[in-house]
């Protein structure tokens, strides 16, 4: 990934992280939901920094196209967030 693209993705991810923190601070997002969102936003900030490590992990797992590994991790993150919502909704 080109350095310009890395800085762009890091900047957008950092803005997302600040948005989640601001929503928790203003009590528009409950803390129980914020944990996964904060982890997701933090991983989005760190992902472009360690893109070479992500590529190495993808090849070690047997995935030939590293962006597919990133999409797999993103899909798993969304599934965990949906699972958290399902558990929360089931309590009521």
Exposed/middle/buried for 46, CB within 10 Å: 0-12, 13-18, 19+? middle
* Tens-digit pLDDT profile for residues 32-72: 888 888 888 888 888 888 888 989 999 999 999 988 998 99
pTM of the predicted protein model: 0.71
Confirm if 69 and 62 have CB atoms less than 8 A apart: no
Is residue 92 scored above 80 in pLDDT?
no
Stretch 3-25: mean pLDDT, rounded?
Answer: 89
* Tens-digit pLDDT profile for residues 17-34: 899 899 989 989 888 888
The pLDDT of residue 32 is: 80
Can you list the positions of beta strands (E) in 1-92?
A: none
The pLDDT of residue 56 is: 94
């Amino acid at each position: 990934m080109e350095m310009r693209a890395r800085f762009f993705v890091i900047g957008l991810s950092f803005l997302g992280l600040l948005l989640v923190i601001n929503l928790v601070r203003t009590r528009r997002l409950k803390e129980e939901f914020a944990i996964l969102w904060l982890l997701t936003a933090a991983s989005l900030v760190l992902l472009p920094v360690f893109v070479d490590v992500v590529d190495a992990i993808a090849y070690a797992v047997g995935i030939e196209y590293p962006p597919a590994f990133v999409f797999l991790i993103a899909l798993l993150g969304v599934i965990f967030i949906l699972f958290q919502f399902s558990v929360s909704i089931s309590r009521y």
